[in-house]
Amino acid sequence: MVWLQLLLSGVLGRVLPSPQSDVVRPIIVASKPFGESYLLAEIFAQLLEARGFRVQRRPGLGATEIAFQALRTNQIDVYPEYTGTGLLAILGERPSEDPGQVYRQVSREFRERYGVRWLPPLGFQNTYAIAVRQETAARLHLTTLSDLARVSRSLRAGLTPDFIGRADGLPGLERAYGISFGQVRALLPAVKYQALSAGGVDVIDGYSTDGFIERYNLVVLKDDRRFFPPYEAAALTGAALSRDAPSAIAALSELSGLLSESDMRRLNRRIEVDGVPVPRVAGAALLALGLSKPSGKASSPNKGADSGVMTYLWAERRTILSLTLRHLLLVGVSLTAAIAVSLPLGLALERSRKAAEPVIRGVGLLQTLPSIALLAFMIPLLGIGVVPALVALFLYSLYPILRNTYTGVRDAAPGAVGAAWALGMTPRQILRQVRLPLAAPVIMAGVRTAAVINVGTATLAAFIGAGGLGDLISAGLALSDTRMILAGALPAAVLALLVDGMLGWCERLVTPLS
């Protein structure tokens, strides 16, 4: 599947001839982790390639904060964004009803504050859509959000965490309509439609261009008080691109006003519901818009969406293998660094026990930081890609190794240690010949814990463009493609077992008791 190779090439870079481009460096195109964002980014990428630019893809880079941070710091050059999001989530300004005014406001503010450009809107709006099942709408006579407010106490809402927190999401909705749901659950985009359709919740937030709204036969309630601000889609470009490749900006501007809301719903449906690979849908869209010519490059045969998981895994084995290797690299490097730091630190703390608990607890606090938050904090410091991912994984691996080294060495056979001391061994001899060998199983248990956690956490590295099996999981989640999710999750599980088994073998090597 070309899409997977593209995901990978986003990491490795892709070299194409660039006859018309005025830069040698590739243009880095990113997206947020949901279907429409993937599609728009791929359309940008293919259009740029058709105009002779080299392109590097960072699909599903991260949610608004991460993607925008990356753009602002010129880690990426362009990603699709929505004017309403820019106004509310990034600028923190009050919403306005007029799309033109919103666009003018974000254009001006972003240029002045960040040197970032909004290209002219693509032509459609993708605003929030509050949706219910047809049966619910009929039974409770719901057509508008004002109707919803009447009965909201008796309903269970499943909302994306994003929506629950944003001023233009649930809090604003509660104020504008007096809506107060009986129960609010945070649900990820990938599961909320299924949850609604299966009756797990009664109301969800969707996007007005989602293909799923049609597929699940949902009713979108009318925003009769015009609460949701306009969310016009547009390409957001970084300062470095304006400087290095103004002609790329011209090329991207060719898309302005060409995509209607019904176009988008149709394209999204092809990806989300029909399971057509994103590059194919993007290619066809550009062709239909007259922005590219049919090329000799045959797209890969569409593997039927109903083919089995094993068949799929086999077909994608090369991609899976290279993503697994990258995953292993992330885990191996970060774990080795964590061992190199926590082992001596644990031993040092054992000698100054007063400092031990505060230090170990401090390191333990790192463990409580949500991984996504930690990754987001790193972008301004370390940018995106492999380095911040390694640092985050390193930080997460410290605690189990540190705690077990300290406890293991402290509690190792106190009777034997006491006797060794009484018979004239030096503290150094006791550490090397008695405590470390006897603590080895406990220390190794810490290393194994860290390794297994690390393999799991490394799947999140995909959100900041570090690659690994998380690429498949996040893309699969965004595109509701179960096989793609499994293609990332199954090898990750196998990898966790293998790493644990291998360390178990190492443990037997260093364990002194047979």
CA distance 335 to 506: 15
Cα–Cα distance for residue pair 264/353, rounded to 1 Å: 62
Among 19, 290, 294, 415, binds other proteins (CB under 8 A): 415
Q: How far is the CB of 477 from other proteins (least distance, A)?
A: 48
Question: Distance (Å, rounded) from C-alpha 493 to C-alpha 272?
Answer: 26
Which region among 38-46, 60-68, 430-438, 444-452 touches other proteins (by CB under 8 A)?
A: 430-438
Give least dist CB 29 to other proteins, A. 58
Give the integer Cα–Cα distance in Å for 33 and 70: 14
Residue 440 beta carbon to other proteins: minimum distance, rounded to whole angstroms: 9
510 binds other proteins (CB under 8 A): no
CB 376 within 8 A of CB 69: yes
Q: Which is nearer to other proteins, 295 or 426 (CB)?
A: 426
C-beta of 301 vs 424, nearer to other proteins: 424
How many Å from the N-terminal Cα to the C-terminal Cα in the chain?
Answer: 50
Out of 354, 424, 505, 509, which residue is the one contacting other proteins (CB under 8 A)?
424
Strand-strand pairing, 78-82 and 55-58: unpaired
Q: CA–CA distance from 121 to each of 6, 152, 186, 460 (Å)?
A: 26, 35, 31, 31
Q: Is 434 in the site for other proteins (CB under 8 A)?
A: yes
Tell me whether residue 416 or residue 494 sits nearer to other proteins (CB atom): 416
Closest approach, Cβ 409 to other proteins, in A, equals 14
For residue 377, state whether it binds other proteins (rule: CB under 8 A): no
Question: Smallest Cα–Cα separation from 320: which of 463, 501, 485?
Answer: 485
Q: Is residue 443 part of the contact set for other proteins (CB under 8 A)?
A: no
418 sits near other proteins (criterion: CB under 8 A):
yes
**Both tokens assigned to 3:** 């899409």
456 to 235, 453, 494, 495: CA distances (angstroms): 33, 5, 11, 9
DSSP SS3 for 222:
strand
Distance (Å, whole) CA 330 – CA 459: 10
Asked if residue 504 binds other proteins (CB under 8 A), the reply is no
Q: How far is the CB of 441 from other proteins (least distance, A)?
A: 11
Of the candidates 249, 273, 425, 506, which one interacts with other proteins according to CB under 8 A? Answer: 425
Cβ nearer to other proteins, comparing 64 with 405: 405
**Alpha-carbon distance 210 to 191, whole Å?**
13
The residue type at 343 = L
User: Nearest approach, Cβ of 339 to other proteins (angstroms)?
Assistant: 22
Least CB distance to other proteins at residue 438 (A): 6
Is 298 a binding residue for other proteins by CB under 8 A? The answer is: no
Alpha helices in 185-316 (DSSP H): 189-197, 212-215, 239-244, 246-253, 261-272, 278-288, 309-315
**Rounded to the nearest whole angstrom, what is the least distance from the CB of residue 414 to other proteins in the complex?**
9
Check residue 419 for interaction with other proteins (CB under 8 A): yes
User: x/- site string to other proteins, residues 153 to 172, per CB under 8 A?
Assistant: --------------------
Q: Which is nearer to other proteins, 249 or 425 (CB)?
A: 425
* Binding piece for other proteins, criterion CB under 8 A, among 372-380, 418-426, 442-450, 461-469: 418-426
- Looking at 172, 437, 493, 507, which residue binds other proteins (CB under 8 A)? 437
C-alpha span between 346 and 352 (Å, rounded): 10
Describe the strand order of the beta sheet including 218-220 as a list of residue ranges: 183-186, 156-159, 203-207, 128-133, 218-220
Which stretch in 267-275, 395-403, 427-435, 468-476 sits in contact with other proteins by CB under 8 A? 427-435
Q: Is residue 426 within the footprint of other proteins (CB under 8 A)?
A: yes
C-alpha closest to that of 399 among 362, 351, 442, 353:
362
State the DSSP string of 101-119.
HHHHHHHHHHHHHH--EEP
Binding mask of the shown chain, residues 175 to 214, with x at each position contacting other proteins by CB under 8 A: ----------------------------------------
Report the residue from 116, 338, 384, 438 that binds other proteins according to the rule CB under 8 A.
Answer: 438
Minimum distance, C-beta of residue 442 to other proteins, in the bound complex (Å) = 14
Among 2, 184, 337, 413, binds other proteins (CB under 8 A): 413
Question: Which pair of structure tokens corresponds to residue 191?
Answer: 């599961």
Gap between the Cα atoms of 409 and 412, Å rounded: 5
How far is 488 from 470, CA to CA, in rounded Å? 6
**How many binding residues for other proteins (CB under 8 A)?**
20
Output DSSP code: residue 144. B
We find the least distance from the C-beta atom of residue 73 to other proteins, in angstroms, to be 53
- Give the shortest CB-509-to-other proteins separation in angstroms: 14
What's the min distance (Å) between Cβ of 408 and other proteins? 14
Which residue, 438 or 486, has its beta carbon nearer to other proteins?
A: 438
Region from 87-95, 229-237, 241-249, 423-431 binding other proteins, contact rule CB under 8 A: 423-431
In what helix (H) or strand (E) does residue 470 lie, and over which residues does it extend?
A: helix 470-478
- Both tokens of residue 200? 């797990």
Q: Are 118 and 86 in contact (CB under 8 A)?
A: yes
Alpha carbon distance 234, 122 (integer Å):
5
- For CA atoms 386, 389, 395, 401, give the dihedral sign: negative
For residue 458, the minimal CB distance to other proteins (Å) is 35
Residues found near other proteins in the complex (CB under 8 A): 413, 415-416, 418-426, 429, 433-434, 437-438, 512-514
